Chain A
């Protein structure tokens, strides 16, 4: 099953791209070591590896942002020591990044042709809008877009925005499209759309490098999978060898038994958080009723835009809700600000870690102490020692990998940053933990740790609400699943009714199949 990667021999002309013996070091670390790969025209290559395996460095080399220390890059038969941003672009290498680089104040066509707009003649160099739209249309068709060239980008879903990025790549005569974690923020239905776009690219003879932590998608999309670990290629899987377990094994160098830790220790306790008739600005006419019991992990599934994040924000008091009541342990709460929620032990691990979860420029210790600062202070003056002690404890318990608690949080990897977010709440005795996409962009090892942590929280009597677009995660981790559709809960599923199909049906607003009927509305009648 395991082939040793080729490390020698000139690139056969049948390859669009060939990398040979690439080495790249940064002060003190080897980011890439003797890395070689081939990409044939029309081939879809899955590239997997934990964070820090060297994928980003590889992408930066292909994009011409950094130069390798050694090795050759052969593009379309021409050998280079390094690529520049210009040569990479001219050769037809295009990137679609996890964080999209679109201008959401412009329309689709303006984004696709940004900097290359067709102009009307004359000294004013006015943009020829009609020609612009016309030129854009064929590329949109090629990616199977169901929106028009003059739609504002702000009105598009994430998957549609990715289509715009891909259309932009096509308009630049791309021959290799590199998709960096394109699905990490997409729900299942949208992911399917993206996978069909990949298939269309392949059919047109365009190569694709598909980087993802979501191995099931790699399984479905890739012709060949390259697995990286510690800067080196550790394995290559042919089409018929690709499997979830094989990839995981190669990625972490051992078999992963993530699910073992996930059986609940006891039956769930009484209702901790009870929400009735919650309405949010996103869906002002629909309302949510939800009971969250102590000791359970309730998975909240649904499509992007179904109102899950808005519900979480309302329950945390960040957004004012339009209506409805929230009670904790039977006591009604005002919850008009996040301060109320925090004071009552309702904590949120937000979706966008960097923008709202932590302060990247503050040390770990100051991030962890921030919500509980008065407790670390005597007569209004902060005690750095008390902060450091608490942070050290969280660092040890959560296994945060950092030289010290004085390390700036921004220098940590995604998984460790997420642990800092968790640490600040765990230091405060949570009653209700709401986690919004807790493992987004986090490598598989850290994911398993976060799952185990959620379970141990639940076992300690905390009520856990986990929002996730990752179907594997929702089904694997939850004790019960609530599915949202257009601002209300379309159904609850108990463990016996867990299936991808049931979650999907509820997510698009249809009743769940077979016995799942009893699941829908098992706890409260569906609104």
Chain B
């Protein structure tokens, strides 16, 4: 764990202690379970986003994809009668294909990630609304899928399974990002794509793979969100979720220029964001201020981080000056 991650963890604990001191309900099992469920759902999104941000890209269509894929998933199992063990991989593959398309447009046709995924944001939201004729997709009365519901919205010894899923995914993705050849390539491309290309790396393939990973994780989380809300009105479901994911990554120390950040940071960033949401609810702050609180905290966090890096860079220069040439 890097110093940055440790600092974030300490911040999370300090905020937690303060909130618990003011309102002990923070520590009630039901509150912790609810919060960790949300951490699980948003955390999976943030990890996907992190893989794209590390390459210096951005994925803005995440929120719309959560709506579109969620609508499709519910439609497939609830109204079209498809068995969920078939529908689930189908939706995940669809997420991967959409990621592939984004990656291809960005890496091969050299379109800007912001533009491609902004168009995605608009297109998928529109398609989702059209698909349900602007109605709400949901389950019929009495319809239930016990196994699926247990896996997505259920609990294991009181711990939400979505949170357990996040831990498992985070562990796997940590190895991929921080220990694998592919992860090293991601960092290299984020730092300097040209230099990576000059080292003989297929930079295009690596970037495309990052968007595919993001698409797959988004699809998975779309299914979790769908099973959590159980009914989806496509005009508003998942709105701003891309910004939650980006904010979590930024709080976790990712640079939007690419090449910087750790997986633990992205997860801790999500934890902090959800803790803040919870804080707003528990401390009786008007919920209309929700976004303002989040924005303020992110701004302060990034400011401190930036000042700290500038300080470290200065020390590094001083150290370098001390070495014999």
Binding site for B on A (CB under 8 A): 26-29, 31, 50-52, 316, 318, 337-339, 341-343, 348, 350, 355-362, 366, 370-371, 373-374, 377, 380-382, 401-403, 408, 411, 413, 424
Q: Which of B181, B194, B196, B321 contacts A382 (CB 8 A)?
A: B181
Q: Complex formed: what's the CA distance from A339 to B198 in Å?
A: 9
Indicate whether A361 sits within 8 Å of B324 (C-beta atoms), given known contacts A381-B180, A382-B184. Answer: no
Q: Pick 6 A–B contacts, CB within 8 A, sort by A.
A: A26-B318, A50-B325, A348-B198, A359-B195, A370-B199, A411-B320
Chain B residue contacts of A362, Cβ below 8 A: 187-188, 191
- Residue B200, interface by CB 8 Å: yes
Residue of B nearest to A52 (CB): B325
15 A-B pairs besides A343-B200, A382-B179 with CB distance below 8 A are A26-B322, A28-B321, A29-B321, A29-B322, A50-B325, A337-B200, A338-B197, A338-B198, A359-B196, A360-B191, A362-B188, A370-B196, A401-B323, A401-B324, A411-B320
Contact status A318-B181, CB under 8 Å: no
Indicate whether A27 sits within 8 Å of B325 (C-beta atoms), given known contacts A350-B198, A373-B184. Answer: no
- Residue B259, interface by CB 8 Å: yes
Chain A residue contacts of B188, Cβ below 8 A: 359, 362, 366, 370
- Residue B124, interface by CB 8 Å: no
Contact status A339-B195, CB under 8 Å: no
Contact status B200-A338, CB under 8 Å: yes
Q: Which of A28, A52, A341, A357 contacts B322 (CB 8 A)?
A: A28
Indicate whether A28 sits within 8 Å of B184 (C-beta atoms), given known contacts A339-B200, A356-B198. Answer: no
Flag B171-210 by CB within 8 Å of A: 1 or 0 each: 0000100011110110110011011111111100000000
Chain B residue contacts of A343, Cβ below 8 A: 200
Chain B residue contacts of A355, Cβ below 8 A: 192, 194-195
Contact status B181-A373, CB under 8 Å: yes
Q: Which of A28, A357, A382 contacts B198 (CB 8 A)?
A: A357
What is the minimal beta-carbon distance from A503 to any residue of chain B, in angstroms?
28
- Residue B283, interface by CB 8 Å: no
Q: Which of A374, A408, A424 contacts B199 (CB 8 A)?
A: A424
- Residue B119, interface by CB 8 Å: no
Binding site for A on B (CB under 8 A): 175, 179-182, 184-185, 187-188, 191-192, 194-202, 259, 316-325
Contact status A359-B181, CB under 8 Å: no
Chain A residue contacts of B323, Cβ below 8 A: 401-403, 411
What is the minimal beta-carbon distance from B323 to any residue of chain A, in angstroms?
6
Q: Which of A342, A360, A374 contacts B181 (CB 8 A)?
A: A374
Chain B residue contacts of A403, Cβ below 8 A: 323
What is the minimal beta-carbon distance from A401 to any residue of chain B, in angstroms?
7
Q: Complex formed: what's the CA distance from A371 to B188 in Å?
A: 11
Indicate whether A318 sits within 8 Å of B198 (C-beta atoms), given known contacts A381-B179, A408-B316. Answer: yes
Residue of B nearest to A443 (CB): B325
What is the minimal beta-carbon distance from A346 to any residue of chain B, in angstroms?
10
Contact status A371-B200, CB under 8 Å: yes
Chain B residue contacts of A29, Cβ below 8 A: 321-322
Chain B residue contacts of A341, Cβ below 8 A: 200
Q: Which 5 A-B pairs have the closest CB atoms?
A: A342-B200, A28-B322, A52-B325, A411-B320, A371-B199
Indicate whether A380 sits within 8 Å of B321 (C-beta atoms), given known contacts A342-B199, A355-B195. Answer: no
Q: Complex formed: what's the CA distance from A402 to B325 in Å?
A: 9
Chain B residue contacts of A408, Cβ below 8 A: 316
Q: Complex formed: what's the CA distance from A185 to B192 in Å?
A: 23
Contact status B259-A361, CB under 8 Å: yes
Q: Which of A26, A318, A377 contacts B321 (CB 8 A)?
A: A26
What is the minimal beta-carbon distance from A471 to any residue of chain B, in angstroms?
27
What is the minimal beta-carbon distance from B176 to any residue of chain A, in angstroms?
9
Contact status A27-B198, CB under 8 Å: no
Chain A residue contacts of B179, Cβ below 8 A: 381-382
Indicate whether A380 sits within 8 Å of B181 (C-beta atoms), given known contacts A338-B200, A359-B195. Answer: yes
Residue of A nearest to B189 (CB): A359
Contact status B321-A339, CB under 8 Å: no
Q: Complex formed: what's the CA distance from A373 to B206 in Å?
A: 14
Chain A residue contacts of B184, Cβ below 8 A: 366, 370, 373, 382
Chain B residue contacts of A374, Cβ below 8 A: 181
Contact status A411-B199, CB under 8 Å: no
Q: Complex formed: what's the CA distance from A402 to B318 in Å?
A: 15
Q: Complex formed: what's the CA distance from A29 to B325 in Å?
A: 10
Chain B residue contacts of A26, Cβ below 8 A: 318, 321-322
Chain B residue contacts of A359, Cβ below 8 A: 188, 191-192, 195-196
Q: Complex formed: what's the CA distance from A21 to B119 in Å?
A: 63
Residue of A nearest to B315 (CB): A27
Q: Complex formed: what's the CA distance from A414 to B316 in Å?
A: 17
Chain A residue contacts of B191, Cβ below 8 A: 359-362
Indicate whether A381 sits within 8 Å of B175 (C-beta atoms), given known contacts A357-B198, A359-B188, A362-B188. Answer: yes
Contact status A357-B197, CB under 8 Å: no
Q: Complex formed: what's the CA distance from A318 to B200 in Å?
A: 9
Q: Which of A50, A339, A373 contacts B202 (CB 8 A)?
A: A339
What is the minimal beta-carbon distance from B4 to any residue of chain A, in angstroms?
15
Chain B residue contacts of A52, Cβ below 8 A: 325
Q: Complex formed: what's the CA distance from A510 to B322 in Å?
A: 52
What is the minimal beta-carbon distance from A377 to any residue of chain B, in angstroms?
5
Q: Complex formed: what's the CA distance from A411 to B322 in Å?
A: 11
Q: Complex formed: what's the CA distance from A370 to B202 in Å?
A: 12
Chain B residue contacts of A338, Cβ below 8 A: 197-200
What is the minimal beta-carbon distance from B324 to any residue of chain A, in angstroms?
7
Indicate whether A318 sits within 8 Å of B197 (C-beta atoms), given known contacts A28-B321, A52-B325, A337-B202. Answer: yes
Q: Complex formed: what's the CA distance from A370 to B188 in Å?
A: 8
Chain A residue contacts of B192, Cβ below 8 A: 355-356, 359-361
Contact status B194-A356, CB under 8 Å: yes
Q: Complex formed: what's the CA distance from A339 to B321 in Å?
A: 37
Residue of B nearest to A353 (CB): B195
Q: Complex formed: what's the CA distance from A401 to B325 in Å?
A: 7
Indicate whether A339 sits within 8 Å of B201 (C-beta atoms), given known contacts A358-B195, A373-B184. Answer: yes
Q: Complex formed: what's the CA distance from A52 to B175 in Å?
A: 41
Q: Complex formed: what's the CA distance from A316 to B192 in Å?
A: 18
Chain A residue contacts of B259, Cβ below 8 A: 361
Contact status A27-B322, CB under 8 Å: yes
Residue of B nearest to A402 (CB): B323
What is the minimal beta-carbon distance from A477 to any residue of chain B, in angstroms?
23
Q: Complex formed: what's the CA distance from A302 to B3 in Å?
A: 51
Q: Complex formed: what's the CA distance from A359 to B199 in Å?
A: 10
Chain B residue contacts of A50, Cβ below 8 A: 325
Chain A residue contacts of B318, Cβ below 8 A: 26-28
Residue of B nearest to A341 (CB): B200
What is the minimal beta-carbon distance from A496 to any residue of chain B, in angstroms?
36
Q: Which of A356, A382, A402 contacts B195 (CB 8 A)?
A: A356
Chain B residue contacts of A358, Cβ below 8 A: 195
Contact status B325-A413, CB under 8 Å: yes
What is the minimal beta-carbon distance from A272 to any residue of chain B, in angstroms?
19
What is the minimal beta-carbon distance from A240 to any residue of chain B, in angstroms?
32
Chain B residue contacts of A337, Cβ below 8 A: 200, 202
Q: Complex formed: what's the CA distance from A359 to B200 in Å?
A: 13
Chain B residue contacts of A424, Cβ below 8 A: 199
Chain A residue contacts of B202, Cβ below 8 A: 337, 339
What is the minimal beta-carbon distance from A383 to any residue of chain B, in angstroms?
10
Chain B residue contacts of A316, Cβ below 8 A: 198
What is the minimal beta-carbon distance from B185 to any residue of chain A, in angstroms?
7
What is the minimal beta-carbon distance from B262 to any residue of chain A, in angstroms?
15
Residue of A nearest to B198 (CB): A356
What is the minimal beta-carbon distance from B201 to any residue of chain A, in angstroms?
7
Q: Complex formed: what's the CA distance from A360 to B195 in Å?
A: 10
What is the minimal beta-carbon distance from A436 to any residue of chain B, in angstroms?
11
Chain B residue contacts of A381, Cβ below 8 A: 175, 179-181
